[in-house]
C-alpha cells in the first residue's frame, strides 16, 4: 500500500524510489493505525522545484506532519523543514556506501531555528517516525491516542509473557 483513499494527514516523502523499502515501514505503521497518508518521491537535488511546491502546499491540503527520508547527502528533510512549519520527521536511509552514517549526519545537525526531528537509521527509524506521527495526531484525536497506548501495552505484554530468550538449538 502506498496511499490511502481518505484525505491525507501525513505526507511521506523520499528522495528516490530506492528509499521506499525503508519509508514503506512508516507507511505500514500509519496504515496499521488507520491514519490517512500519501507518498511521494521528491528529491532535494533532482527535483528542487517539486520539493518547494510540495512543502509549500502541504499545510493548505490538510497535511499535519511530513515524514521525510533520504540517504547519502540527505538534504531532503532539512530543506523540507526550511519551507514549512509543519513538523518534519526525518528518516536517515541506510546508504549503500557508508551504511547511513552519511545520511544521519546530513540530517541531524540542523542550524538553530529550523528544527527537524531525526530518527534512527533505517527500518527502525521509519517505523518510529510513523509512530511519532501517530503520537502527534493523537494530541487532537483521543481514539488514536488510545490505540497508541494499546500498542505500547501489547509490546509490554509480549515481553512479559515470554521473558526468557529462545535458545539457539545449534549452540
Ligand atoms: C538520495 O540519494 C536518495 O534519498 C537515495 O537514498 C540516494 C540514492 O538515490 P538513487 O541513486 O538510488 O536514486 O537522494
Instruction: Report the half-sphere exposure of 143 (CA within 13 A, side-chain side).
Output: 3
Reading the chain (171 residues) residue by residue, the pLDDT tens digits are 577 778 999 999 999 999 999 999 999 999 999 999 999 999 999 999 999 999 999 999 999 999 999 999 999 999 999 999 999 999 999 999 999 999 999 999 999 999 999 999 999 999 999 999 999 999 999 999 999 999 999 999 999 998 888 888 776
Site to substitute for ligand 1 among 12, 13, 17, 18, most atoms within 8 A of C-beta: 18
Q: Tell how far the Cα of 171 is from the centroid of ligand 1, in angstroms.
A: 40
Extract the C-alpha cell encoding 85: 512549519
- Measured in angstroms, how far is the CA atom of residue 48 from the centroid of ligand 1? 14
Question: Mind listing the pLDDT tens digit for each residue in 118-134?
Answer: 999 999 999 999 999 99
CA-based angle 18:24:28, to the nearest 5?
A: 175
Shortest-distance Cα residue to atom 7 of ligand 1: 71
Task: Indicate which residue's Cα is closest to atom 3 of ligand 1.
Answer: 15
C-alpha cell recorded at residue 140: 487532537
Amino acid at each position: 500500500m502506498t496511499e490511502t483513499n481518505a484525505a491525507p494527514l501525513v505526507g511521506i516523502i523520499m528522495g528516490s524510489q530506492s528509499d521506499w523499502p525503508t519509508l514503506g515501514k512508516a507507511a505500514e505503521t500509519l496504515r496499521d493505525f488507520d491514519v490517512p497518508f500519501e507518498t511521494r518521491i521528491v528529491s532535494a537535488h533532482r527535483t528542487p522545484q517539486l520539493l518547494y511546491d510540495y512543502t509549500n502546499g502541504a499545510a493548505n491540503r490538510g497535511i499535519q506532519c511530513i515524514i521525510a527520508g533520504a540517504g547519502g547527502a540527505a538534504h531532503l528533510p532539512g530543506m523540507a523543514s526550511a519551507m514549512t512549519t509543519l513538523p518534519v520527521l526525518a528518516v536517515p536511509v541506510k546508504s549503500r556506501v557508508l551504511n547511513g552514517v552519511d545520511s544521519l549526519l546530513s540530517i541531524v545537525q540542523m542550524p538553530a531555528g529550523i528544527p527537524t526531528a531525526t530518527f534512527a537509521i533505517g527500518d527502525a527509524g521509519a517505523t518510529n517516525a510513523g509512530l511519532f506521527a501517530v503520537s502527534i495526531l493523537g494530541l487532537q484525536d483521543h481514539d488514536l491516542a488510545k490505540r497508541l497506548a494499546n500498542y505500547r501495552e501489547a509490546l509490554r505484554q509480549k515481553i512479559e509473557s515470554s521473558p526468557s530468550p529462545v535458545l539457539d538449538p545449534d549452540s
